[in-house]
Amino acid sequence: MDKNKNKMITWLVDKGKSIRIEDDFQPSFYIYSKSKNLYNLANVLNDLSDVENIKFTNCKTVLGSDKEKIVLEVTPKNIAYIGKLSKMIDYWGRFHQYQLFNVDIRLTSRYLQEKGIFCNAYVKWDGEKFISTDSQWAIDYDIPFFNVAEISVKQKSNKTTFSFDKPLKSIKINDCIIEEKNESDTIISSVKYLKRIDPDILDIKKGDSLIIPFIYHRADICNIKKLVNFGREKIQSYLPLKNEKSYFSYGQIIYRPAFYTFYGRAHIDTYNSFLHKESGFRGLLDISRCSNIPLQLLSRLGAGTAISQMQLNKAIERGYLIPWRKNMPETWKTAAKLLESDRGGLIMDPIVGLHEDVFELDFASLYPNIMFTHNISPETLLCDCCKNSYNQVPQTGYHICSRQKGIIPELLELIIYRRFCFKARSKKEGIDKELYKELQIAWKWILLVCFGYTGYRNARFGRIECYESITSFSRDIILTAIELFEKAGWTIIHGIIDSLWIKSPNENMCPFSISKKIENQIGIKLDIEGHYKWIVFLPSKLTHVGALNRYYGLFDSGEIKARGIELRQNNFPRYMKNMQKDMLRIFSKANNYKEFIKNIPYALDVILNYGIKIINGKIDHNDLVFTTRISKDITEYKVNNLVKSALIQFKKSKIQIRPGQSIRYIVKDEKSSHDHERVCIIENLDMNSRIDVDFYLRQLA
């Protein structure tokens, strides 16, 4: 985007060649207030040099209402002035007098939608406008042919520690290793080679967090920074699009590296991209296509941002203005009403111990299906048009509109169908099953977050009553299912949100017929996840009552399913995970309760053998590495624990660790008072380093 010229730059890929399109783009924003306030504001704005044009127009400002209101449309002289003018007007109105709209919509997404096109679409440019016959939500479509370049670097050092102070040795682009006589020539030659092969996408592992800032830093030291351009445009910003930050989310500290993006070329950091890790390039491309978020940017964002943008797209499609700030406050409730309505999903503590002949059943995409089936959306809940609606939310007294379909249900219908198609194809022989597996996983994440965003305080159309309604329906559904199963003689072993574990009243009895009956009554598909020959539900380590998500069991197919144990946790060393795998391999030979009990001594022998290997030094040091996510700065640690000792080593090595980043280390001597003797960070690991045998033996127990 060229903000100085009010131009949007779009790149087309045609048979391996790139085509640059420059198009006029001068978006407006809108203001609503009392007529007198708007006319006074219009007079003031007319005299501002930053304003190109103002006019009064009629627009829909309230989601769900077709009533149009008179608003003031303001077109700045420059795209870059939208933010400045909006803040100034908001300040003039003392932050409450004016309602502002279409202020902070992502400009690239807005441009594409206004032009009737979308990311990765098949289009033609006739010199004035785009022409497209492609369909945004098509299941089958032509995939653009992208030239991809993988980039990595090496330093002039034998140590594994990566430091910005150490010179660059070589840059590898695909299979070509570029290494000149000096550092500056290596960098310049790499930039020239990149320009010659002209890739569309740069695949750079740790590109945001390490590689790109490192190359910029070394180029700056060599006084050649202005010659480094990884994009296609002549201009290149060396500052990140967004700075690095640590933030708190869902009970943990998350670290987000800076965003280093390029013009005309997509930089994808495959190491730090959540969506790429989970669903691969094709999953990322498919979500980019449907959300209208450019591939480069989406790779740095989460599924929540994608679903939020899709909702905005739907609202714009229906002709609504998008509020600058969330404008749907929570309705007032008494304390009793709050306790009654805000209760979350239903959870039943598991019956701790070993069970045989157990079925696991899951309601397919329960929350999204509830939202779709019951028309739950911010504008349909507690609507003014049908307060006596037949569609009532259990236990809350809320009603749902029966006259119009909500934005979220309309969107979910597309998403649920899309995932259903991809999931079906992932199980079909004769086609690329792995491709469709990636695609269905991508949309699985979109469905997972769509529920949370209904109650998220920062979501544009978030509304806590939606969240409360969804969980209320889910409790009603699970309780209905439990009641019907128990009437049929089944025992409920465990239940959590959308899943049930049930034990048959008679041997070799299948819940297929009763589950179909429940499915027909509720209207949501109830899948039989599998039949366990045996399953173990573990107690909580702290309270000793049944842990909600700690179990392991053996399906009829011979597959072991484990949740919540060390094997599934990223922070534990590989040797502990391998030990548990070997123990489960022993237990997998058991077909029933009695055989499981008989195999316990053999499983205990596995622990003994691993202990002997530790004592005899027969386990690779790399298999003894702990991984810990840092929750705070080193200065905030009051207790000198193992993590602080590791952080001190990083500090001495001039490596800055931010909250939310993970560190890896082995324990050398837990009781030592010297930091370098207590632990050894993986960057300084020597295969001859001693380990704390007693400490590691205790971990096995």
Q: What is the pLDDT of residues 558-575, one digit of tens each?
A: 999 999 999 999 999 999
Determine phi and psi for 71, rounding to 5 degrees. Answer: -130, 165
The pLDDT assigned to 250 comes to: 65
Q: With cut-offs at 50, 70 and 90, classify the pLDDT of residue 458.
A: low
Last-in-domain residue among 76, 105, 132 = 132
Q: Is 73 left (phi over 0), alpha (psi -120 to 50) or beta?
A: beta
Q: Are 283 and 444 in contact (CB under 8 A)?
A: no
Can you tell me the distance from the alpha carbon of 591 to that of 484, in angstroms, rounded to the nearest whole number? 29
Strands 201-203 and 148-155: parallel
Assign 507 a pLDDT band (cuts: 50, 70, 90): confident
Smallest Cα–Cα separation from 449: which of 371, 341, 362? 371
CATH of the domain at 655: 3.40.1820.20
Q: What is the mean pLDDT of residues 441-450?
A: 94
Q: Same domain for 549 and 667?
A: no
Q: Residue 622's pLDDT is what?
A: 93
Q: Are residues 545 and 651 in the same domain?
A: no
14: amino acid identity, one letter: D
- The candidate with the shortest Cα–Cα distance to 191, out of 159, 215, 209, is 215
**What does the alpha-carbon distance between residue 85 and residue 570 come to, in Å, rounded to a whole number?**
47
Residue 194: pLDDT band with limits 50, 70, 90 = very high
Distance separating alpha carbons of residues 484 and 369, to the nearest angstrom: 21
Q: Tell me: do 402 and 527 sit in the same domain.
A: yes
d(CA 154, CA 162): 9
Q: Are residues 392 and 511 in the same domain?
A: yes
Co-location of 551 and 633 in the same domain: no
- What phi and psi values does residue 255 have, to the nearest 5 degrees? -105, 130
Q: What is the pLDDT of residue 505?
A: 85
**Predicted confidence (pLDDT) per residue in 354-396, tens digit:** 999 999 999 989 999 999 999 999 999 999 888 888 889 998 9
- As a 3-state breakdown, the chain gives helix, strand, coil percent values, each rounded to 5, of 40, 20, 40
For the segment 216-249, what is each residue's pLDDT rounded down to a tens digit?
999 999 999 999 999 999 888 888 888 888 877 6
533 and 400 assigned to the same domain: yes
Q: What is the mean pLDDT of residues 13-33?
A: 94
Is 252 inside a domain boundary?
no
Q: Is the pLDDT of residue 195 over 70?
A: yes
Q: Is residue 235 part of a domain?
A: no
Confidence bin at 462 (pLDDT 50/70/90): confident
Tokens of 428: 């079909």
- Average pLDDT on 91-101 reads 96
Q: Can you tell me the distance from the alpha carbon of 111 to that of 665, in angstroms, rounded to the nearest whole number?
A: 48
**Does residue 486 lie in a domain region?**
yes
183 belongs to a structural domain: no
pLDDT for 456 beyond 70? no
Q: Which of 132, 152, 172 delimits the end of a domain? A: 132
* Residue 455 reports pLDDT greater than 70: no
| Dihedral class, residue 188 (left if φ above 0, else alpha if ψ from -120 to 50, else beta) | alpha
Q: What residue type is assigned to position 373 of the chain?
A: T
Q: What is the pLDDT of residue 256?
A: 86
Average pLDDT for 64-88? 96
Residue that finishes a domain, picked among 132, 150, 176 = 132
Dihedral through CA 324, CA 325, CA 326, CA 332, nearest 10?
Answer: -140
For residues 551 and 645, membership in a common domain is answered with no
- Return d(Cα 626, Cα 643) in angstroms, integer: 10
Residue 636, domain extent: 626-684
Residues 447 and 540 in one domain: yes
pLDDT number for residue 390:
85
Cβ atoms of 564 and 537 within 8 Å: the answer is: no
Looking up residue 489, the CATH number of its domain turns out to be 3.90.1600.10
Give the model's pLDDT for residue 674: 92
Lowest mean pLDDT among 464-478, 607-621, 680-694: 680-694
Q: Looking at the domain assignment, is residue 187 inside a domain?
A: no
Given this model, what pLDDT does residue 665 score? 96
475 residue type, one letter: R
Residue 427 predicted with pLDDT over 70: yes
Closest CA to 30 of 70, 1, 80, 84: 70
Does residue 157 belong to any structural domain of this protein?
Answer: no
Residue 457's pLDDT is 63
Tell whether 523 and 654 lie within a shared domain. no
Residue 328 scores a pLDDT above 70: no
- The answer, yes or no, to whether residue 464 has pLDDT greater than 80, is yes
Residues 459 and 444: their CA atoms lie apart, in Å, by 20
CA separation for the pair 435, 439 (Å, rounded): 6
Which CATH number do you get for residue 30? 3.30.342.10
Strand partners, 246: 255
Res 239: pLDDT: 87
pLDDT at 160 over 70: no
> Taking the CA of residue 90 as centre, how many other CA atoms within 13 Å lie in the half-sphere pointing to its CB?
16
Q: Is residue 181 part of a domain?
A: no
pLDDT per residue as tens digits for the range 613-670: 999 999 999 999 999 999 999 999 999 999 999 999 999 888 889 999 999 999 999 9
Residue 237 included in any domain: no
Question: What does the pLDDT look like over 34-66, one tens digit per residue?
Answer: 999 999 999 999 999 999 999 999 999 999 999
pLDDT of the residue at 388 = 83
User: Is the domain of 645 the same as that of 502?
Assistant: no
Q: What percent of the chain has pLDDT over 90?
A: 79
CA pair distance 490, 541, nearest whole angstrom: 29
pLDDT value at residue 332: 74
pLDDT of amino acid 327: 61
The pLDDT, as a whole number, for residue 544 is 82
Domain tally, the chain: 3
Residue of 284, 299, 553 lying closest to 441 (CA atoms): 284
On whether both 359 and 491 belong to a single domain, the answer is yes
**Is the confidence at residue 308, as pLDDT, over 90?**
yes
Whole-model pTM over 0.85: yes
Q: What are phi and psi of 670, to 5 degrees?
A: -55, -35
Residues 389 and 533 in one domain: yes
